Amino acid sequence: MLDIQHVDKSFGQEGPPVLDDFSLAVAEGEFVSLIGPSGCGKTTLLRIVAGLLTATSGTVAVAGVPSLGPSRDKAVVFQHFNLFPWRTALANAAYGLEIQGMSRAEREERAMQWLVKLGLERYAHHYPGEISGGMRQRVGIARALVIEPKLLLMDEPFGALDALTREHLQGELQRIAESTSLTILFVTHSIDEAVYLSDRVIVMGTHPGRIIREFQVDLRRPRYDYNFRAEPQYAAIRGEIWSLLERELAITPDEPLVDATAGGVDTRS
Amino acid sequence: MTPTPAAHPGRSPIRISPLHHPHHRPRRGFLYTGTGVWTVRIVTFVALIVVWQLYASGVSRALFAAPSAILESIIELTITEATLWGAIATSMGALFAGFGLAIVVGVFIGLLMGRFRPLELVLDPYVSFLYALPTIALIPLLVIWFGIDTQLRLALVFLAGVFPVIINTMAGVKNVDGELLDVGRVTCASERQMVTTIVLPAALPFIFAGIRVALSQALVGVIVAEMTAIITGLGGMIIRFANFFQTANLFVPILAIMAVSVSLTTLLKWLERRLMPWDHRHLEEEGA
């Protein structure tokens, strides 16, 4: 479904490489997480796949078609929700369909279906400033899914939420992922979240951003209805990822973050 | 002052001073209630009028006007002779048309300058310099070009209003949150859709700030032109009464200008709340 081949990225002419020869293939319906320390380029990679940034070299293909920019088979859920404050939840969720030129009645009906699925029907006519962070991100998810993308890109979508809301939304995301054949690329800082949600966890290192190791997670699905944390495999993978990341963090404490030195282009990964 | 635990070691150290008590609400006096505020305002206003009246009774009517004389003038100019209404209509006549034009043109140019860097580079010096120039300095030139009729009013209001609108619109357009623009980009929005669905709504608070500045500039421009060149409308009224030392009458157009200015500002605020309900509700929530 998603095929990333030898992607390099550096910001500016002389900038240090943020991503070096990054290749990754994601199968249809697969849930893949990217995890790594700040500055490992995971958000940069997501933005390249989304079409918001261009790779310095290398190719990205979605469903066999070269992906050269934003396209309607991809949707993004942002870390800071990025809802339009002047639109109600419903109008925010319907945004993608509005851009595609769908009639108001039809797009609002479809957006409403997603809001209902995400438990937001009572808040459809509220503005983002009037609802909680968790609800805002549900609207963000509805806005992404309403255009029925093949590939869902999620950039630390639950990073700005409190722990309880976060866990709740993780469960909901699993339900959605199961009910569709959606392929998901998920960027996160949380090992727990990555293992809980993913079929595969890609651990990235810094200077330059690259894949250090990947882990297949075979824990039984769905994972929200049993204590997956009690499974030996969970503890094993979690421990290994932690020791890899600890080593990465130990190498870099005094060096500036790659992303932060690249002209302030991308400091959020 | 409440004694602090440290100053009185004999007392229980965990006693919380009433000021820091979680359920403490600062006691607010009479001045913080609605009736309190209005009582104070009305009492001071009446006192002011009384002092004014007493002082004015000892001064020549040509130099100073008593409140009672001003009230007579108000009745005369609004009811018996009713010449004030015509003056207001004259002054405001071209204001709405010129101002509407200034907003439409200003938003359009500001938008283009904010979105296309080359255009900004070319136009910015002109816009900045013309914005810095008080429009009233152009009045004689405009009289030569447009005469003293409606065209002059239109040109004056337009020139006073268009530059603040351009500058603020441009600032708003350049200030749009890049993360919101990302949403448009990943949704494959066209440039026109980016502008109508993201850039303009995001810049709306800035545009309104520009319109507020433009409004006061336009009013100044119209009144000054009426006082110096056209000698009609409210400005003309002021000059004519002043020339004949009709001091009490003189206050009436001044009060009328005040009233017009306050009404237009209120209208603008109402419009702002109508067009930006999200902003308003957000503020209310924070205030609660």
Examine the pLDDT at A36 and tell me if it is beyond 70: yes
Contact residues on chain B for A87, CB-CB shorter than 8 A? 278
Q: Which domain holds residue B46?
A: 20-58
Determine the Cα–Cα distance for residues B180 and B202; give it in Å rounded to an integer. 9
**pLDDT score at B3:** 41
Q: Please check whether residue B200 lies inside any domain of the structure.
A: yes
Q: Please check whether residue B68 lies inside any domain of the structure.
A: no
**pLDDT score at B66:** 86
Residues B217 and B126 in one domain: yes
Q: Please check whether residue B185 lies inside any domain of the structure.
A: yes
Mean pLDDT of B83-107: 89
- Return phi, psi of residue A161, to 5°: -105, 160
Residues B176 and B244 in one domain: yes
Residues B89 and B228 in one domain: yes
Higher-pLDDT residue of A190, B27: A190
Final residue of a structural domain among B11, B31, B58: B58
Mean pLDDT of A179-204: 91
Mark yes or no for CB contact B188/A72 under 8 Å: yes
Examine the pLDDT at B7 and tell me if it is beyond 90: no
Domain count for chain B: 2
Examine the pLDDT at B283 and tell me if it is beyond 80: no
Give the Å distances, CA to CA, from B15 to A94, B2, B5, B22, B23.
55, 11, 7, 12, 14
**pLDDT score at A257:** 42
Residues B249 and B119 in one domain: yes
Q: Please check whether residue B88 lies inside any domain of the structure.
A: yes
To the nearest whole number, what is the mean pLDDT of chain B? 85
Where does the pLDDT of residue B8 fall: very low under 50, low under 70, confident under 90, or very high at 90 and above? very low
Residues B115 and B234 in one domain: yes
Residues B44 and B167 in one domain: no
ipTM of the prediction: 0.86
**Chain A nearest CA to B25, separation (Å):** 26
Share of chain A above pLDDT 90, in %: 42
Residues B118 and B181 in one domain: yes
Q: Please check whether residue B117 lies inside any domain of the structure.
A: yes
**pLDDT score at A265:** 41
Beta strand pairing status for A31-35 and A183-188? parallel
Mean pLDDT of B108-113: 95
Contact residues on chain B for A129, CB-CB shorter than 8 A? 278, 281-282, 285
**pLDDT score at B285:** 43
The pLDDT tens digits of the residues spanning B56-79 come to 888 887 788 888 889 988 988 888
Q: Please check whether residue B150 lies inside any domain of the structure.
A: yes
Question: Do residues B142 and B199 make contact, with C-beta atoms less than 8 angstroms apart?
Answer: no
Residues B97 and B25 in one domain: no
Residues B265 and B213 in one domain: yes
Most confidently predicted of A251-255, B71-75, B277-281: B71-75
Q: Please check whether residue B173 lies inside any domain of the structure.
A: yes
Residues B24 and B139 in one domain: no
**pLDDT score at B24:** 55
Determine the Cα–Cα distance for residues B78 and B86; give it in Å rounded to an integer. 10
**pLDDT score at B117:** 92
- CATH number assigned to the domain comprising residue B201: 1.10.3720.10
Q: Does A98 touch chain B (CB under 8 A)?
A: yes
Q: Please check whether residue B191 lies inside any domain of the structure.
A: yes
Mark yes or no for CB contact A130/B285 under 8 Å: yes
Examine the pLDDT at B239 and tell me if it is beyond 90: yes
Q: Does A71 touch chain B (CB under 8 A)?
A: yes
Mean pLDDT of A89-116: 94
Residues B54 and B87 in one domain: no
Residues B140 and B33 in one domain: no
Contact residues on chain A for B197, CB-CB shorter than 8 A? 84, 95, 98-99
Where does the pLDDT of residue A252 fall: very low under 50, low under 70, confident under 90, or very high at 90 and above? low
**Dihedral angle of Cα A82, A85, A89, A92, to the nearest 10 degrees:** -60
